[in-house]
Structure 1
Amino acid sequence: MDQAATYGSLPLLKRERIWSGWDYTWVNVSLAIATWAFLVGGSTALLVGFQDGIAAMIIGNAIGLGIMVLASTAASQRYGVEQYTILRPVFGLIGVGVLVFTVILITEMGWSSLLAIMVGRAVTQVANATAGTDFGSGSFLVTVVGLLAVLLAWFILSRGPVAIGKLNKFVAPGLVAVTVFMMFFLVANTSWDQLFAAGPLAPFEDSQLNFMMAVEFNVAVGFSWYPVMGSMARMTRKPKAALWPAFSGLLIGTLVAQIVGMAAALTLGDSDPTVWMVPLGGPLLGAFMLLFISFANITSMSSIVYSTVLAIRQASGNLLGRVPWPVLCASFFVLPGILTFFPDFMYDQFMIFVTISGAFLSAMCGAILADYFVLRRQRVSLPDLYRYRGESTYHFTGGINWAGMAAVAIGAAFYLWVYNPATLETQPLFLLLTASLPATVIAGIAYLALSHVLYRVRGVGGFDLQADTGTSTALTAVTDESKA
């Protein structure tokens, strides 16, 4: 495969797209079934019981994933373009860079550090169970193992997306088997009656508020996949190999893991999967399952960082374009490595971190959907994606599409007004529609209105493009321009 396409932002040709629908399904399943997904289920159990929890997780993930998959994979798969390059018509070259180095970078560094810390906690629990040690959840061993997990994820990532795909073919089926075993042992050690009778761990007085907070949390989890999906979807051969495998793979994998996590939390009283997996499966089998899922966390980190580092490279223009791929990946892991020194803090802020990330990602998705499906009718000029400054029709004003940036700010602000996850203040609308769904719609409407006022009436931004530019033609044009 062409290195410039794999590690850069050039469009992938048909022969360079290596994943079938099944390949991409396994990639998404292995991403979804990781220990953080069990933690999401356990966190949902803080607010609702088993039956309400299942409903909240299905509704929330379906909403978040449905919007996110359309916004992240449709354009990238069709044109074979890395997802942050294809965002230039929505936010402009500089605008994409601003979002990448703020919203996207903070979100993915937070998830990567959390995954590394969970590996550290998992190994610590195995050591305590098998060797009789007494390491705590915030011990230095957690940090050491977390740093080793970061190092291993960097090594896998440095080998490129092909290595990630090959590993996921083996990891994903194993994760499904492990999850089924865990559910079996859970039911065998308790009972269905006990499970359905178990109440939430730390609910508020208003049951409707509890349910909607659980739904919103899971909607945000669905949106949290946005930063990694488009860059992987462009590796698929056909549209149907991208959209449905992304939605179904993430939805099924996430729900299975979350339901097991919620059930264990409700019956065993702890939302942290690294605490209950060994007692649930026994010192040997439980330790094996926990270690296996910990390795899946490492492959998840690799997949996450692949897309994010591509985004960093293209958003920096020529600044980081010549930095070797392994070096660029290593620079990303610096902050997640530092955050492994604060494991308890990352756990305590988990729900707030996920929900606030959802506020900005839902607003981004609203602007993206309005641009690509409504205004541009799925037509993008590929040569203009790779031209700079005034040579590109997507230069807008100083390299920023202010309609897109304003739409994100408006949508996120509306979200935080409807529901503030830090203070738990809510508006009545939240109890009916959550915060993410109306924020997505508001951001989309704002983008449509501002794009018309600021650009379309002046013929700026290429909104009325009539001819669809093929990938091969665009790639030839970009190559010829670079040679010139």
Structure 2
Amino acid sequence: MSTLDEGTKAAVEGSWPLLPHERTWGRIPLLGVCVSASVATWIFITGGFVAFYLPAGQGAITMIAGSLVGILLIVLALLRVTTRYGIDSVAASTPQLGKRGAYVALALTYASVIGWNTLLLVFLGRAAAEILISTDVFGEGARQTLIVVFGLLGVAAAWAILRGGPARMRNVAPVIAVGVTLIAVFLLIALIVNVGWSKIADAEALAPSDSKIFNYVTGFELLVASMLSWWPYVGGTVRLAPGTKTALWPTVIGLGLAIALLSMIGLFAALAIPESGGDPTTYLVEIGGLGFGLPALAFIILANIGTTMVGVYVSALALKQVPTLQARLPWNATTALALAPVALAVALVPNWVFDNFGSFLAFIGVAFAPLCGIQIVDYVVFRKHTLDLRAVFLGRRGDAYEYWGGVNPAGIAGLIGGAAAYIYLLDPVDYTSRAPYQYISASVPAAFVAACVYALITKFVVMPAGKGGYGKTAEVAIERSSDEAVPALRR
């Protein structure tokens, strides 16, 4: 392998920025990765949560709105800067949080991806257990053991696929995307044929509030919060695309729209079969028989591996932001480190993860809505979508993003202010709310509060102190976003 190939491999499998000619993912591969990542069992459970508050028609419209608003926040926060410089989401947070402050974003990324991957692999185990129990290979008493065993096999499968790096992910993603989309369509058809559209359309919400507007806003909030969980994923995937134009519509359609549309299956299933909660592993064989149910469950296993694979990749990129790991830990060891806590959770507390899905969604809103808010105001208002690559990746004393001890107080204060606003409006544990939540939701106001706090401190404290590289960013970006600049960082 040539030196250039080695450098490219190190960049793609690490946190280094990618050169323009290394960003080889076109619209179709990127769309395939987005769809294969989004079409996993968790979207059906999200729809099932919305069924507690809204019936079919109102829930469907509300979910589309929430999903598109959520992806809009991510696009505004990340898309242009990550595609322009070939960097991932955590690296893109360094100008707002500081070189050391960006470890907060790394921790949030690691925690959220661990949560999602654990959930997905528990669902994978549930699907595999349902196949084996439905075919009388094992009895009902073996269900919990089967869930754990096959969840751990899913961990091993995701690690094995990623041994080939993101190129392997790019190649298998379109196949997974087509397969799971077809299964989703068949799921919808099977529901309508076996249950009847009239029963689905006429079904009442399962446990609505007395306030109709509260029900609408909560359905909206569930989709905004779940979409914000894609903050780590978006940067990690679109950095491999050649530009913003290439990445925009695959991201919006493959994540924003696909998640909303496919979550509707969970909504409809929960309304028609309330005890399912939208989880297809509980009703596929019942409504479709073995001939349909078993292949569908097999594709659900495949879909969850596809999403887990993307999650492991982006969490490995985040871990590579730690200089010691970037320099000393090989790719396969990094992906193993990303999967280790997932394997422990699958083995030890699978039911706890499943039972606390709603609180996990709220945590996503608490964590990532403020982060999107500070990035939007910083990149759009202050930096005009430019940054200093050397300060991000080398971080020498006195560089633009050193701030005070490597931490930008504006960014940390913005995160705290936004999180406080979210928790005031909506308790993430028991979903009790305070006014004016029923009119404005929680994630969007949290992003707005974080942006305002960040803007004020930046304008009146950070910029007068000469910190953050404001006023110099444009020249640095023009000089350092070329093919000549990035190799210098990688030598």
TM-score (norm 1): 0.95
CA distance in 2, matches of 1:444, 1:303: 29
Report the Cα offset of residue 284 of structure 1.
Answer: 2.3
Aligned partner of 1:97 in structure 2 is 103
CA distance in 1, matches of 2:141, 2:66: 33
Which segments of 5 or more consecutive residues in structure 2 lack a partner in the other structure? none
Aligned partner of 2:211 in structure 1 is 206
1:61-100 mapped onto 2 (5 Å cutoff)? 61-100=67-106
1:143-154 mapped onto 2 (5 Å cutoff)? 143-154=148-159
Q: Please identify, of 141-150 and 423-432, the stretch whose mean Cα deviation from structure 2 is larger.
A: 423-432
Report the Cα offset of residue 343 of structure 1.
Answer: 2.0
Amino acid at match of 1:157: L
Aligned partner of 1:459 in structure 2 is 466
CA distance in 2, matches of 1:286, 1:240: 40
Q: How many residues align?
A: 481
**Is 1:390 aligned to residue 397 of structure 2?**
yes
Q: Is the 8 A contact 2:161 2:168 kept in 1?
A: yes
CA distance in 2, matches of 1:243, 1:473: 20
Report the Cα offset of residue 158 of structure 1.
Answer: 2.2
Aligned partner of 1:317 in structure 2 is 323
CA distance in 2, matches of 1:9, 1:133: 45
**Is 1:291 aligned to residue 304 of structure 2?**
no
Q: Structure 2 vs 1, CA of residues 446 and 29 (structure 1 numbering), >3 Å: closer, same or farther?
A: same
Q: Structure 2 vs 1, CA of residues 297 and 148 (structure 1 numbering), >3 Å: closer, same or farther?
A: same
Q: Which whole-Å deviations, capped at 9, do the CAs of 1:115-170 have from their partners, x for residues lacking one?
A: 11000000111112112644369711101110000111111122111100111111
**Is 1:141 aligned to residue 141 of structure 2?**
no
Aligned partner of 2:385 in structure 1 is 378
Q: Please identify, of 265-274 and 361-370, the stretch whose mean Cα deviation from structure 2 is larger.
A: 265-274
Amino acid at match of 1:404: G
CA distance in 2, matches of 1:134, 1:406: 54
Q: CA RMSD in A?
A: 1.8
**Is 1:122 aligned to residue 127 of structure 2?**
yes
2:170 to 162, 165, 169: 165
1:354-433 mapped onto 2 (5 Å cutoff)? 354-433=361-440
Aligned partner of 2:15 in structure 1 is 9
Aligned partner of 1:193 in structure 2 is 198
Amino acid at match of 2:120: L
Q: Structure 2 vs 1, CA of residues 373 and 267 (structure 1 numbering), >3 Å: closer, same or farther?
A: same
Q: Which whole-Å deviations, capped at 9, do the CAs of 1:234-267 have from their partners, x for residues lacking one?
A: 1112211112210111123212321111111111
Q: Structure 2 vs 1, CA of residues 73 and 473 (structure 1 numbering), >3 Å: closer, same or farther?
A: closer
Q: Is the 8 A contact 1:224 1:357 kept in 2?
A: yes
2:477 to 431, 453, 469: 469
Q: Structure 2 vs 1, CA of residues 447 and 301 (structure 1 numbering), >3 Å: closer, same or farther?
A: same
Amino acid at match of 1:71: A
Q: Structure 2 vs 1, CA of residues 150 and 32 (structure 1 numbering), >3 Å: closer, same or farther?
A: same
Report the Cα offset of residue 224 of structure 1.
Answer: 0.8
Report the Cα offset of residue 355 of structure 1.
Answer: 1.2
Q: Please identify, of 151-160 and 202-211, the stretch whose mean Cα deviation from structure 2 is larger.
A: 202-211
Amino acid at match of 1:204: S
Q: Is the 8 A contact 1:150 1:337 kept in 2?
A: yes
Aligned partner of 1:229 in structure 2 is 234
Report the Cα offset of residue 190 of structure 1.
Answer: 2.0
Aligned partner of 1:276 in structure 2 is 283
1:446 to 453, 458, 468: 453
CA distance in 1, matches of 2:298, 2:63: 26
**Is 1:156 aligned to residue 164 of structure 2?**
no
CA distance in 2, matches of 1:448, 1:194: 50
Aligned partner of 1:43 in structure 2 is 49
Amino acid at match of 1:323: L
Aligned partner of 2:243 in structure 1 is 238
Amino acid at match of 1:70: L
1:331-350 mapped onto 2 (5 Å cutoff)? 331-340=337-346, 341-350=348-357
Q: Is the 8 A contact 2:48 2:270 kept in 1?
A: yes
Which segments of 5 or more consecutive residues in structure 1 lack a partner in the other structure? none
TM-score (norm 2): 0.94
CA distance in 2, matches of 1:324, 1:232: 20
Identity %: 30
Q: Please identify, of 460-469 and 47-56, the stretch whose mean Cα deviation from structure 2 is larger.
A: 460-469
Amino acid at match of 2:13: Y
Aligned partner of 1:57 in structure 2 is 63
CA distance in 2, matches of 1:283, 1:183: 17
CA distance in 1, matches of 2:479, 2:145: 50
